[in-house]
């Protein structure tokens, strides 16, 4: 059996996980809002139309902050369409996903839904077809108490108290040619700066995220971040990162290695942000907002991703069905985020319900958990605390990851991929040391020895594994519990050393009581 070792020390930390690291994303896209969060008439819906079964699953999933209303959608959105009397709201052609937007759900409904779900709202403003003027009006509508046109309009609409939205995204993926009114880095840098200034004049307490590249494979990646931050550095707190892992090549080993490119991506953007700071002799540190991440490929290209003419309302698009294999790659992404807790202060799983989502619903029917639900719920529940530096020694493999739309660079070689990828989070208040461990070996069990220096009286509180002999197995309406975590047995502890055996192709979460 191959062996791996992990060394950690109670006092050697990377950083404390910020609660916003465990966020998600809800876009006006397919059935995410309509038929997902919001379905008046559904047997579990309340008088506002919020599906109770979805709310219960969201609470179990444990996201802390939700990004809204897009995504690509926001670049053509007039926020004023979604407030005020519902019967007066316009129906619009929605050009990002080629559907009809009824505007029955808008900003105020979203805030109410966030309160019901006990999550923080995050709003994105339209810097595609609109600019700083619409953005500052939205900040005034949401956050100003009263006595002005926009704040009094909110009150007249029935929301007396300000929404107090703290986290704002300055547009979405403005580097992407598919984006409505995409921009060059200089154009975007200027517009984002001016929008940020206006928004902060209205409410100085808000936090702002500038758009980074829409993926690491964009030909403008790097130069985009540099130029955008040269413009926005003094006006923003975060730069965004987006990644969707894929298995187009049907190469499981490469797919499971791909989260390591997220590690590289984060480190590269941090380096660029700090280089911009260095040129200014500034001690300010721009933080990373990884505000779209997930696995997504089956419904990404081809006919499903963009709806045919007919302009349907809430069509079932991007309804990716996640397999066991996808949950493993997803777990790898969780590890990349946890292990950069010092600089990734916000992250959003894209998305929440139905569209590339951990929660699926049937319109008028039931709701269930996809395979990726579990690593996220575990990350949110057990990832609170200090991420410890881990020194891993594991057998490795070399692979090539196929990532299309990258010009000539379709294959990314990844050398020396450790079969074991892991993260350790220590919460002194709860006396908890939580280990998150992925075994990427597809055939072999791996014997892992963890030396937890500085810890005494370690005891297993709970140990779970997510695995299945069939890596293509999925959950469905008919079999909602086909894939779910099971017990991981056989863990032994001697003083500060923990030994376990990791099943091939498995995601493991070991919770230790630790003093
Ligand atoms: O999450 C789906 C889409 O992916 C978002 O709308 C966009 O920002 C990204 O390209």
* DSSP state string for 154-177: HHHTT--S-----EEEESS-TT-T
Task: Give the contacts of 402 (CB within 8 A, at least 6 positions apart).
Answer: 246, 248, 249, 251, 254, 410, 411
pLDDT of residue 268: 98
Residue 221 confidence class, pLDDT cut points 50, 70, 90: very high
Compute the average pLDDT of residues 137-145: 98
Q: What is the mean pLDDT of the chain?
A: 96
What is d(CA 374, CA 369) in angstroms, rounded to the nearest whole number? Answer: 8
pLDDT of residue 510: 98
CA 90 to chain centre: 31
Task: Please count the other Cβ atoms lying within 10 Å of the Cβ belonging to residue 379.
Answer: 28
Residue 515 confidence class, pLDDT cut points 50, 70, 90: confident
- Express each pLDDT in 319-351 by its tens digit: 999 999 999 999 999 999 999 999 999 999 999
pLDDT of residue 303: 45
Whether residue 173 has its Cβ less than 6 Å from ligand 1:
yes
Which helix (H) or strand (E) segment is 107 a member of? helix 107-117
Whether residue 350 has its Cβ less than 6 Å from ligand 1:
yes
Pairing relation of β-strands 506-513 and 120-125?
unpaired
Whether residue 171 has its Cβ less than 6 Å from ligand 1:
no
Whether residue 194 has its Cβ less than 6 Å from ligand 1:
no
Bridge partners of residue 444, in order along the sequence? none
187 is catalytic: no
More confident residue, 447 or 457: 447
Residue 416 confidence class, pLDDT cut points 50, 70, 90: very high
| The two structure tokens encoding residue 297 | 């490929």
What is d(CA 13, CA 133) in angstroms, rounded to the nearest whole number? Answer: 43
Task: Please count the other Cβ atoms lying within 10 Å of the Cβ belonging to residue 456.
Answer: 10
Distance 31 CA to ligand 1 centre (A): 14
pLDDT of residue 405: 67
Contact between 370 and 295 (Cβ < 8 Å): no
225 is catalytic: no
The SS3 call for residue 103 is coil
Q: Is the pLDDT of residue 3 over 70?
A: yes
Helix and strand tally (H, E) in the chain? 10, 24
The SS3 call for residue 32 is coil
Query: Which of 24, 173, 357 maximizes ligand 1 atoms within 8 Å of its Cβ, making it the mutation to test the pocket?
Result: 173
pTM: 0.97
Burial class of 24 by CB neighbour count within 10 A (0 to 12, 13 to 18, 19+) = buried
Name the least confident of 145-154, 307-316, 421-430. Answer: 307-316
Burial class of 147 by CB neighbour count within 10 A (0 to 12, 13 to 18, 19+) = exposed
pLDDT of residue 300: 85
State the catalytic residue, choosing from 39, 173, 194, 320: 173
Contact between 289 and 347 (Cβ < 8 Å): yes
Compute the average pLDDT of residues 470-484: 98
Task: Give the contacts of 56 (CB within 8 A, at least 6 positions apart).
Answer: none
């Amino acid at each position: 059996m191959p062996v791996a070792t992990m060394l950690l020390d109670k006092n050697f930390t990377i950083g404390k996980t910020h609660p916003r690291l465990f966020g998600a994303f809800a876009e006006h896209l397919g059935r995410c809002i309509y038929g997902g969060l919001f379905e008046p008439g559904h047997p579990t819906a309340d008088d506002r139309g919020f599906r109770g079964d979805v709310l219960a699953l969201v609470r179990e999933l444990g996201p802390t902050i939700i990004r809204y209303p897009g995504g690509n959608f926001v670049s053509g959105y007039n926020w004023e369409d979604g407030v005020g009397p519902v019967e007066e709201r316009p129906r619009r052609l929605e050009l990002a996903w080629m559907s009809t937007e009824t505007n029955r759900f808008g900003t105020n409904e979203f805030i109410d839904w966030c309160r019901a779900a006990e999550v923080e709202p995050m709003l994105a403003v339209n810097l595609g077809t609109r600019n700083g003027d619409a953005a500052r009006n939205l900040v005034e509508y949401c956050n100003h108490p009263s006595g002005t046109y926009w704040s009094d309009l909110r009150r007249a609409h029935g929301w007396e108290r300000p929404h107090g939205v703290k986290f704002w995204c300055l547009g979405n993926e403005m580097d992407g040619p598919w984006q409505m009114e995409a921009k060059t880095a200089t154009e975007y840098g200027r517009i984002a700066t001016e929008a940020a200034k206006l928004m902060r004049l209205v409410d100085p307490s808000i936090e702002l995220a500038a758009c980074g590249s829409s993926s690491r494979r964009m030909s403008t990646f790097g130069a985009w971040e540099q130029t955008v931050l040269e413009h926005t550095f003094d006006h923003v707190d975060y730069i965004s990162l987006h990644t969707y892992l894929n298995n187009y090549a049907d190469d499981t080993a490469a797919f499971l290695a791909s989260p390591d490119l997220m590690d590289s991506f984060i480190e590269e953007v941090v380096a660029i942000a700090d280089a911009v700071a260095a040129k200014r002799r500034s001690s300010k540190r721009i933080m990373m907002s990884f505000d779209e991440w997930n696995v997504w490929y089956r419904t990404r290209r081809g006919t499903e991703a963009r709806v045919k003419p007919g302009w349907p309302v809430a069509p079932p698009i991007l309804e990716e069905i996640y397999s066991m294999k996808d949950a493993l790659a997803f777990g790898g992404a969780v590890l990349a985020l946890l292990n950069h807790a010092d600089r990734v202060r916000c992250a959003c799983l894209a998305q929440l319900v139905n569209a590339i989502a951990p929660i699926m619903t049937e319109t008028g029917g039931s709701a269930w958990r996809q395979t990726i639900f579990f690593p996220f719920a575990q990350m949110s529940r057990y990832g609170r605390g200090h991420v410890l530096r881990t020194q891993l020694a594991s057998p490795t493999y070399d692979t090539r990851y196929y990532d299309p739309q990258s010009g000539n660079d379709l294959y990314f070689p990844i050398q020396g991929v450790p079969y074991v990828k892991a993260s350790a989070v220590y919460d002194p208040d709860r006396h908890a040391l939580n280990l998150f461990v992925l075994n990427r070996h597809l055939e072999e069990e791996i014997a892992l020895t963890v030396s937890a220096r500085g810890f005494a009286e370690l005891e297993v509180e709970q140990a779970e594994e997510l695995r299945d002999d069939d890596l293509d197995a999925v959950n469905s309406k008919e079999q909602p519990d086909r894939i779910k975590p099971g017990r991981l047995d056989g863990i032994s502890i001697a003083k500060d050393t923990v030994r376990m055996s990791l099943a091939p192709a498995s995601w493991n979460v070991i919770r230790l009581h630790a003093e």
